[in-house]
Structure 1
Amino acid sequence: MAQSQGWVRRYFRAFCKGFFVAVPVAVTFLDRVACVARVEGASMQPSLNPGGSQTSDVVLLNHWKARNFQVQRGDIVSLVSPKNPEQKIIKRVIALEGDIIRTIGHKNRYVKVPRGHIWVEGDHHGHSFDSNSFGPVSLGLLHAHATHILWPPKRWQKLESVLPPERSPMQREE
């Protein structure tokens, strides 16, 4: 009986040591390197959630690339909503700082993206709450770069950084 209690005690002690090492490592990884997120809504159709409300894509979010604000036109990014800081949104980068963009339904027909900001839009115009509603977004709100679709399995793919030709900036500062 005493031997079995010793084994249980050693097992419990080893489990606790492993647990208290693994949890901080996992949390740090998910916060700083990469995580997964479910995409809801129709704003990014057909790139994400092409089946409408029946399915939700699950994407891999790369925090590392967004950490130094390394974004390009056409990237799909996750960011903190400028209107609701409790919510994260996923959109496509249309223009970078210094670009002049023709808007779709914004109060100004043309907008020059200020320094330290990006212009983001959903692929499904008219069903997207994006920069056309709230203007340029501060790079400080950037959360992650969406790199792959992980679920459903039939949609496994790398997400390409493609800028729709009709949404190219009017003028670019290089």
Structure 2
Amino acid sequence: MAQTGFGRRYFKAFVSGFFVAVPVTVTVLDRLAYVARVEGASMQPSLNPDGELSPDVVLLNRWSVRNYQVQRGDIVSVLSPKDPQQKIIKRVIGIEGDFIKTLGYKNRYVRVPDGHLWIEGDHHGHSFDSNTFGPRIL
């Protein structure tokens, strides 16, 4: 008899904790930060130095991007222009108003438009980045 009462209390505590934890977790992941897996060679050697053998896992800060606090040198995640279902992780080389000397883009020099970033992978020649598709919207 005592076991049944304990089991019910435990179950109620678990359920109430679950209904608090899930919305809090979803809010944190939506507004503050989320975990992403880094695959591929475009950010080597900074990220994923061992290649496909052991992909890196990173925590991405959404708060800074929401408040437009992105600076040169930051690593960001953006939707791929090739496949909008996929995110790519690159380093910010230029912010709005900067003039960039490109590595094979259609123009040798580009002014980054307002509200855009110039992003590149650390492993030049192995990266699908702004040198291929141009400035990205922030």
Scaled to the shorter chain, the TM-score interval is over 0.9
Which moved further from structure 2: 126-135 or 6-15?
Answer: 6-15
Deviation at 1:4, TM superposition (A): 3.0
The sequence identity of aligned pairs, in percent, is: 72
Unpaired runs of at least 5, structure 2? none
The equivalent of 1:132 in structure 2 is 131
The equivalent of 2:40 in structure 1 is 41
- Using the alignment, how far apart are the partners of 2:45 and 2:4 within structure 1? 59
Deviation at 1:6, TM superposition (A): 2.8
Deviation at 1:35, TM superposition (A): 2.2
1:115 aligns with 2:122: no
The equivalent of 1:31 in structure 2 is 30
Unpaired runs of at least 5, structure 1? 140-174
The equivalent of 1:164 in structure 2 is none
The equivalent of 2:63 in structure 1 is 64
Deviations 1:25-70 (A, max 9, x none): 1111122112221110000011111222322111121111111121
The equivalent of 1:5 in structure 2 is 4
Residue correspondences, number:
138
- Using the alignment, how far apart are the partners of 1:23 and 1:52 within structure 2? 34
Secondary structure class of the residue paired with 1:82: coil
With structure 2 as the length reference, what TM-score do the two structures score?
Answer: 0.92
The residue type equivalent to 1:138 in the other structure is I
- Cα pair 2:101 2:108 within 8 Å, conserved: yes
Q: CA RMSD in A?
A: 1.3
The residue type equivalent to 2:74 in the other structure is D
Deviations 1:57-105 (A, max 9, x none): 1112111111112111111111122332211110000011111111111
The residue type equivalent to 1:84 in the other structure is D
